[in-house]
């Protein structure tokens, strides 16, 4: 199934095709060169031998020319052949011979280099060829070029055959080998050049890829890709992309505006509703139990809705750079205690312990006291939500060097390792982690905590183990005032 | 029983000859055994490499067969003398000759007669190295006199076109053969240009049968060689036939052959092939001038030399 959707690379395909073409070109060039070399070398040799044979052939034909009529009629015996060749001798492996009806007679010293059978074979091969010329390559290093010319007269006079070793063949072969090696080196160099070239050609693609990877959804205003110094081929693509980003940005701005307006507009009626419910619950003692329970439930839901609206409003403000988060020295121990007391009041069923008594003097940190309380409340609320009913919650306050650490520890379900990063993203919840019946989560809480803590110059992280529990740690910069 | 009948006797023994020759190796270029009856035999002095001679004769005999219905067999000759003697000894009925061969046969054989003569197209050409030509001073023209003190190559001692005709030309210019530093004979005229290209000779005399003066020079040597001197157009080649006054069949055969030669032109493929191979524009009937008058001039030349002229050091 995966093969059907296997992705492919233009660069690799281009490289492969180019490499194949280079290889093909090399093979064709090599074959053509070899054939041409063979053809022209043979042609050159034939031309050379045709010229070289003339002087010795002339001696023989002159002797034949001077034969008397009676000698011509009595022709020819092996002695005749011998007499025609008389005085002809060659060096360096060259040889001449006459082969005809009377047999084979070679020039003097020919037997030093060749046997009669060999000479006969060379001569017959040359005579049989249409041009009377052959190159015997039985000895690859020193092939033998052979030229045969029919002597005047019929079969009785036979052929004069001249042969010479081609001592330059090793040089030719070496040249061919050099050519082959240079072709291979060239091919390799071309492949490398192609690789480098492709990397250069595809550099703009990688730049665009990198730019695209750097785009954040909440920063669409800087998401447009510059078309400056980009290849002409990419301009239409970039224009389309930037157009799309523009449309997305407008859409996102509209959505944010909508969320901001809705959050803002809903809060007032919600506060009124909550106020009236509180008022009825506080003043009317004659309410039936069922009515009171119903009103209390309604009040809790209104409060929950109000919190969600507050979260949405915070996010909306943050997106519009309107969220105000202080970065000033404050007594964070006080805020920590406040959060603890609020939590005790909000979750009376849970045992919430704190180690704040270890610190007697104020501890100063840089940040926003209200936002720190908001963050701690959020974390404590999450701990309660994702733990067993009435489960114990521990709050820890700690000073580590230049940092102040606030930890919220629960003994709940824990968060899988691969989820621990994404739970701080908007509308994301850890998969496989369940809420108690009746509870709900918007998936905004932890992203707001992260946003606020970073706004204060601090941070948030989690240490968790599935089935054991989680520890959320808030960090602020310590103020040394 | 005529000679044709006698010629057939060996054919009866041909199978036996074949059986006895089974153990003997034959060369790839050896001639196949003739099984066809032969009407006429033709030969020619070996003035070219044998392979080219055989090829050209093949064209001619094929043409003669097609135009006369006669089977004409080519009998290769070992040398010029051999070719002439074939007619003298009755082994050839037709000989393609030059001026010397024709002179000799017509003089020796009363029954020999010129059948057809080439249309005037022969010119004797003297070749030299192109580099030598280029080194001549401005205004200096190469001429026959350039052979003084030089190495010169001729065709066979028995060749009219490449020995006697050049000798006649030298004589006309008042040049004695002794002015040459060295002279040599190369029976295979096609090899003469190579001797110059190889630097073995300074000048060589070759024939030209067409308007292209250097047609005798191989294509590969055209850059190296150039025409240094060229004679006036003449006739050199003709066909000598051996007549038999009492043999009407022979008379008819020769008439057919003569007609075939006269009809040779470049309008037909066969004619074109034959003429291109020889380089002639065609043949015509003998004239009072040729070969008769030419033979008289030749006779005086030979008389002057007391026989055939020779190169001093050959």
- Residue pair A469/A476 in contact by the 8 Å Cβ criterion: no
User: Within a domain: residue A260?
Assistant: yes
Residues A254, A458: Cα–Cα separation, whole Å: 31
Mean pLDDT of B244-269: 92
Does A343 lie in the same domain as A293? Answer: no
In this prediction, residue B26 has a pLDDT band, given cuts at 50, 70 and 90, of low
In this prediction, residue A139 has a pLDDT band, given cuts at 50, 70 and 90, of confident
Residues A239, A226: Cα–Cα separation, whole Å: 9
Does A23 lie in the same domain as A160? Answer: yes
Per-residue model confidence as pLDDT tens digits over A79-109: 999 999 999 989 888 999 999 999 999 998 8
Q: Does residue A361 carry a pLDDT above 80? A: yes
Residues A340, A130: Cα–Cα separation, whole Å: 113
If you ran DSSP here, which 8-state letter would residue A231 be given?
A: -
- Residue pair A156/A102 in contact by the 8 Å Cβ criterion: yes
Touching check for B28 and chain A: CB below 8 Å?
A: yes
Which residues, at least 6 apart from B301, have a Cβ–Cβ distance to it below 8 Å?
B164, B167, B168, B171, B309
Does A380 lie in the same domain as A280? Answer: no
Domain B36-120+235-301 matching CATH 3.30.420.240: the answer reads no
Task: State the CATH architecture for B123-233.
Answer: 3-Layer(aba) Sandwich (3.40)
SS3 A148: strand
Q: Does residue A4 carry a pLDDT above 90? A: no
* pLDDT value of residue B156: 86
User: Within a domain: residue A41?
Assistant: yes
Lowest mean pLDDT of A180-194, A209-223, B65-79, name the range. Answer: A209-223
Residues of A in contact with B78 (CB under 8 A): 64, 67, 72, 75, 151-153, 156-157
Does A126 lie in the same domain as A58? Answer: yes
Where exactly does CATH 3.40.190.10 map onto chain B?
Answer: 36-120+235-301, 123-233
Token representation of residue B30: 């050896």
Mean pLDDT of B239-247: 92
Mean pLDDT of B106-121: 93
Residues B80, B204: Cα–Cα separation, whole Å: 19
Selected for mutation to probe chain A from B188, B195, B204 (highest A CB count within 10 Å) is B188
* pLDDT value of residue B9: 45
User: Within a domain: residue A196?
Assistant: no
Residues of B in contact with A128 (CB under 8 A): 28-29
If you ran DSSP here, which 8-state letter would residue A91 be given?
A: -
Per-residue model confidence as pLDDT tens digits over B278-306: 888 899 999 989 999 989 988 888 888 78
Domain span at A303: 232-319
**Which of A 137-196 lie inside 8 A of B, CB atoms?**
149-159
* pLDDT value of residue B65: 95
Mean pLDDT of B93-119: 94
Residues A236, A224: Cα–Cα separation, whole Å: 14
Signed CA dihedral, A4, A9, A12, A15: sign only? positive
Touching check for B191 and chain A: CB below 8 Å?
A: yes
CB contact under 8 A, B27 and A51: no
The closest CB to that of A72, out of B78, B187, B191, belongs to: B78
Q: Does residue B23 carry a pLDDT above 50? A: no
Q: Does residue B35 carry a pLDDT above 60? A: no
Among chain B residues, the shortest Cα distance to A55 is held by: B195
The closest CB to that of B27, out of A50, A58, A127, belongs to: A127
User: Within a domain: residue A209?
Assistant: no
Selected for mutation to probe chain A from B76, B82, B83, B87 (highest A CB count within 10 Å) is B82
Q: Which of A375, A389, A399, A398 minimizes the C-alpha distance to A447? A: A375
Residues of B in contact with A57 (CB under 8 A): 188, 191
Domains contained in chain A, number: 3
Does A163 lie in the same domain as A71? Answer: yes
Does A167 lie in the same domain as A87? Answer: yes
Sheet holding B72-74, edge to edge: B72-74, B40-43, B94-97, B238-242, B112-118, B283-284
Q: Which of B143, B180, B17, B24 minimizes the C-alpha distance to A100? A: B24
Considering only residues A212 and A168, tell me which one the structure prediction assigns the higher pLDDT: A212
Task: Give the H/E segment covering residue A100.
Answer: strand A95-100
- A175 CA: distance to closest CA in chain B (Å): 26
The closest CB to that of B31, out of A50, A72, A155, belongs to: A155
Selected for mutation to probe chain A from B24, B25, B26, B27 (highest A CB count within 10 Å) is B27
Answer with the one of A267, A295, A319 that is the final residue of a domain: A319
Signed CA dihedral, B41, B46, B47, B53: sign only? positive
User: Within a domain: residue A207?
Assistant: no
Does A342 lie in the same domain as A255? Answer: no
CATH number of the domain bearing residue A78: 3.30.450
Which ipTM value was assigned to this complex? 0.78
Mean pLDDT of A155-177: 85
CATH number of the domain bearing residue A360: 3.30.565.10
SS3 B127: strand
Q: What angle do CA A423, A429, A434 make, to 5 degrees?
A: 130
Token representation of residue B129: 């190295």
In this prediction, residue B206 has a pLDDT band, given cuts at 50, 70 and 90, of very high
Token representation of residue A315: 């996010």
Q: What does the DSSP assignment read for A196-221?
A: HHHHHHTHHHHHHHHHHHT--GGGGG
Does A150 lie in the same domain as A19? Answer: yes
Among chain A residues, the shortest Cα distance to B26 is held by: A101
CB contact under 8 A, A65 and B51: no
CB contact under 8 A, A67 and B76: no
Q: What is the pTM of this model?
A: 0.57
* pLDDT value of residue B21: 40
CB contact under 8 A, B187 and A54: no
Answer with the one of A155, A174, A193 that is the final residue of a domain: A174
CB atoms closer than 10 angstroms to residue A87: 11
Token representation of residue A239: 């224009």
User: Within a domain: residue A186?
Assistant: no
Average pLDDT in chain B: 85
User: Within a domain: residue A181?
Assistant: no
Q: Does residue B6 carry a pLDDT above 70? A: no
Q: Does residue A442 carry a pLDDT above 80? A: no
Residues A81, A157: Cα–Cα separation, whole Å: 8
- B138 CA: distance to closest CA in chain A (Å): 32
- Residue pair B99/B105 in contact by the 8 Å Cβ criterion: no
Token representation of residue B177: 């053969």
* pLDDT value of residue A271: 84
What's the distance, Cα to Cα, between the start and end of chain A in Å?
A: 64
Does A266 lie in the same domain as A356? Answer: no
Q: What percent of chain B has pLDDT over 90?
A: 48
CB contact under 8 A, A152 and B46: yes
Average pLDDT in chain A: 86
Q: What does the DSSP assignment read for A138-159?
A: SSSSS-EEEEEEEPSSSTTT-E
Does A381 lie in the same domain as A302? Answer: no
Residue A417 φ/ψ region, left for φ over 0, alpha for ψ in the -120 to 50 degree band, beta for the rest = alpha
In this prediction, residue B1 has a pLDDT band, given cuts at 50, 70 and 90, of very low
CB contact under 8 A, B195 and A158: no
Task: Give the H/E segment covering residue A22.
Answer: helix A10-65
Q: What percent of chain A has pLDDT over 70?
A: 97
The closest CB to that of A154, out of B76, B79, B80, belongs to: B76
CATH number of the domain bearing residue A284: 1.10.287.130
Residues A251, A253: Cα–Cα separation, whole Å: 5
User: Within a domain: residue A276?
Assistant: yes
């Amino acid at each position: 199934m995966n093969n059907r959707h296997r992705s492919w690379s233009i660069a690799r395909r281009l490289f492969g095709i180019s490499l194949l073409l280079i290889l093909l070109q090399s093979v064709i060039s090599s074959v053509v060169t070899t054939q041409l070399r063979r053809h022209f070398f043979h042609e050159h040799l034939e031309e050379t031998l045709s010229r070289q044979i003339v002087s010795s052939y002339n001696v023989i034909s002159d002797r034949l020319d001077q034969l008397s009529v009676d000698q011509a009629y009595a022709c020819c015996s092996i002695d005749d052949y011998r007499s025609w060749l008389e005085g002809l001798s060659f060096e360096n492996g060259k040889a001449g011979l006459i082969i005809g009806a009377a047999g084979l007679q070679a020039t003097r010293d020919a037997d030093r280099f060749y046997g009669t059978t060999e000479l006969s074979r060379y001569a017959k091969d040359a005579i049989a060829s249409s041009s009377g010329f052959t190159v015997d390559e039985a000895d690859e290093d020193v092939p033998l070029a052979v030229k045969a010319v029919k002597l005047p007269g019929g079969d009785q006079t036979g052929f004069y055959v001249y042969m010479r070793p081609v001592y330059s063949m090793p040089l030719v072969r070496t040249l061919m080998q050099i050519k082959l090696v240079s072709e291979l080196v060239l091919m390799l160099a071309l492949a490398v050049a192609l690789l480098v070239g492709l990397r250069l050609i595809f550099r703009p693609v990688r730049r665009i890829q990198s730019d695209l990877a750097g785009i954040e959804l909440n920063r669409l205003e800087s998401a447009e890709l510059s078309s400056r110094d980009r290849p002409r081929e990419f301009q239409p693509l970039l224009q389309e992309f930037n157009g799309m980003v523009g449309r997305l940005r407008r859409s996102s701005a509209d959505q944010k505006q909508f969320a901001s307006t809705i959050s803002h507009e809903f809060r007032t009626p919600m506060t009124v509703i909550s106020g009236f419910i509180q008022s009825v619950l506080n003043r009317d003692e004659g309410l039936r139990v069922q009515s009171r329970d119903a009103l209390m439930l309604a009040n809790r839901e209104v409060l929950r809705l109000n919190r969600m609206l507050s979260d949405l409003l915070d996010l909306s403000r943050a997106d519009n750079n309107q969220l105000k988060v202080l970065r000033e020295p404050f007594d964070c121990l006080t805020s920590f205690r406040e959060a603890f007391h609020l939590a005790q009041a909000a979750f009376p069923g849970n045992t919430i312990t704190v180690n704040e008594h270890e610190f007697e003097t104020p501890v100063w940190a840089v940040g926003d006291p209200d936002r720190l309380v908001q963050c701690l409340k959020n974390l404590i609320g999450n701990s309660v939500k994702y733990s067993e009913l009435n489960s114990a919650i521990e709050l820890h306050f700690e000073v580590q060097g230049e940092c102040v650490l606030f930890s919220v520890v629960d003994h709940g379900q824990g968060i899988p390792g691969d989820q621990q990063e994404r739970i701080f993203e908007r509308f994301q919840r850890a998969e496989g982690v369940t809420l108690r019946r009746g509870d709900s989560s918007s998936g905004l809480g932890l992203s707001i905590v992260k946003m606020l803590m970073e706004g204060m110059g601090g941070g948030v992280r989690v240490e968790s183990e599935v089935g054991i529990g989680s520890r959320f740690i808030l960090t602020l910069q310590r103020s040394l005032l | 029983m005529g000679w044709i009948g006698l010629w057939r006797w060996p054919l009866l023994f041909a199978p036996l000859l074949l059986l006895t020759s089974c153990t003997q190796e034959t060369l790839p270029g050896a001639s196949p055994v003739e099984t066809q009856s032969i009407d006429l035999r033709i030969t020619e002095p070996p003035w070219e490499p044998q392979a080219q001679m055989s090829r050209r004769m093949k064209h001619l005999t094929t043409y003669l067969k097609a135009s006369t219905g006669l089977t004409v067999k080519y009998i290769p000759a070992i040398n010029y003398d051999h070719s002439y003697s074939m007619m003298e000894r009755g082994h050839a009925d037709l000989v393609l000759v030059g001026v010397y061969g024709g002179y000799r046969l017509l003089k020796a054989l009363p029954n020999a007669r010129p059948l057809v003569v080439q249309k005037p197209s022969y010119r004797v050409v003297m070749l030299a190295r192109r580099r030598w030509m280029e080194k001549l001073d401005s205004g200096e023209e190469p001429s026959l006199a350039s052979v003084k003190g030089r190495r010169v190559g001729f065709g066979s001692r028995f060749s009219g076109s490449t020995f006697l005709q050049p000798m006649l030309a030298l004589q006309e210019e008042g040049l004695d053969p002794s002015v040459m530093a060295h002279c040599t004979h190369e029976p295979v005229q096609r090899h003469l240009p190579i001797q110059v290209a190889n630097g073995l000779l300074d000048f060589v005399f070759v024939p030209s049968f067409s308007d292209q003066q250097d047609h005798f020079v191989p294509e590969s040597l055209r850059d190296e060689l150039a025409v240094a001197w060229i004679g006036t157009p003449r006739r050199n080649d003709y066909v000598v036939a051996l007549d038999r006054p009492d043999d009407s069949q022979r008379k008819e055969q020769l008439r057919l052959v003569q007609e075939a030669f006269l009809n040779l032109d470049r309008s037909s493929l066969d004619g074109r092939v034959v003429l291109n191979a020889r380089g002639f524009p065609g043949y015509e009937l003998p004239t009072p001038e040729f070969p008769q008058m030419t033979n008289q001039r030749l006779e005086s030349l030979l008389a002057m030399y007391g026989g055939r002229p020779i190169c001093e050091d050959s």
